[in-house]
Amino acid sequence: MCTAINFKTKNMYFGRTLDYEFSYGEKITITPRGYEFKFRHLGVNSNHYAIIGMAHVFEDYPLYYEAANEKGLAVAGLNFVGNAYYWKPSLKKNNVAQYEFIPWILANFSSVAEVKKALKNINITDDEVNEKFKCASLHWLISDLNEAIVVESTSKGIKVYDNKVGVLTNNPQFEYQMFNLNNYRNLSICDPANSFSEKIDLNRYSRGMGGIGLPGDLSSMSRFVRVAFHKLNSKCNDDEISSVNQFFHIMNSVSQTRGLCAVNDNYEIPLSVGVIEGDKVIVKEGPLSGMEGLIKKIDRHKRVAVLNAQMFEQDVDIKIGLEIIEKYKK
Cα dihedral: 315, 321, 324, 330 (round 10): -30
Count the alpha carbons within 13 Å of 262 in the hemisphere toward its beta carbon.
2
Q: What is the pLDDT of residue 23?
A: 65
State yes or no: pLDDT of 268 exceeds 70: no
The Cα 190–Cα 209 span in angstroms is 8
The Cα 106–Cα 52 span in angstroms is 10
Report how far apart, in Å, the C-alpha atoms of 244 and of each of 11, 83, 211 are.
10, 33, 24
The Cα 281–Cα 284 span in angstroms is 10
pLDDT mean over 41-61? 92
Q: What is the pLDDT of residue 239?
A: 93
Higher pLDDT, 252 or 318: 252
Place 269 in a pLDDT band, splitting at 50, 70 and 90.
low
Closest CA to 148 of 5, 50, 255: 5
The Cα 136–Cα 236 span in angstroms is 36
The Cα 99–Cα 167 span in angstroms is 22
Q: Under the phi-then-psi rule, with left for phi > 0, alpha for psi from -120 to 50, and beta for the rest, what region is 219?
A: beta
Q: What is the pLDDT of residue 214?
A: 96
**Strand, helix or coil for residue 108:** helix
Q: What is the pLDDT of residue 9?
A: 95
Percent of the chain with pLDDT over 70: 88
The Cα 123–Cα 89 span in angstroms is 7
pLDDT mean over 251-255? 90
The answer to whether 9 and 173 have CB atoms below 8 angstroms apart is no
Place 160 in a pLDDT band, splitting at 50, 70 and 90.
very high
Identity of residue 8: K
The Cα 40–Cα 243 span in angstroms is 39
Q: What is the pLDDT of residue 64?
A: 94
| Sequence-separated (6 or more) residues with CB below 8 Å from residue 229 | 184, 187, 211, 214
State yes or no: pLDDT of 102 exceeds 60: yes
The Cα 6–Cα 167 span in angstroms is 7
Domains detected in the chain: 4-192+205-263 (3.60.60.10), 271-328 (no CATH)
Q: What is the pLDDT of residue 276?
A: 79
Count the alpha carbons within 13 Å of 169 in the hemisphere toward its beta carbon.
21
State yes or no: pLDDT of 21 exceeds 70: no
Percent of the chain with pLDDT over 90: 68
The Cα 50–Cα 108 span in angstroms is 10
Closest CA to 119 of 99, 131, 134, 104: 104
pLDDT mean over 241-261? 86
- 2 assigned to active site: yes
Q: Which long-range contacts (CB under 8 A, 24 or more apart) does 211-216 make?
A: 211/187, 213/184, 213/186, 213/187, 214/184, 214/187
State yes or no: pLDDT of 313 exceeds 70: no
Give ∠ CA 36-113-178 in degrees, rounded to 5: 110
Place 190 in a pLDDT band, splitting at 50, 70 and 90.
very high
The answer to whether 43 and 64 have CB atoms below 8 angstroms apart is no
3-32 burial code (b ≥16 CB/10 A, e <16): bbbbbbbeebbbbbbbbbeebeebbebebe
pLDDT mean over 253-265? 76
Q: What is the pLDDT of residue 50?
A: 96
Q: What is the pLDDT of residue 266?
A: 64
What are the tens digits of pLDDT across the range 5-18? 999 999 999 999 88
The answer to whether 24 and 56 have CB atoms below 8 angstroms apart is yes
Alpha carbon 227 to its chain centroid, in Å, reads: 13
Active-site pick, 2, 135, 236, 261: 2
pLDDT mean over 26-36? 91
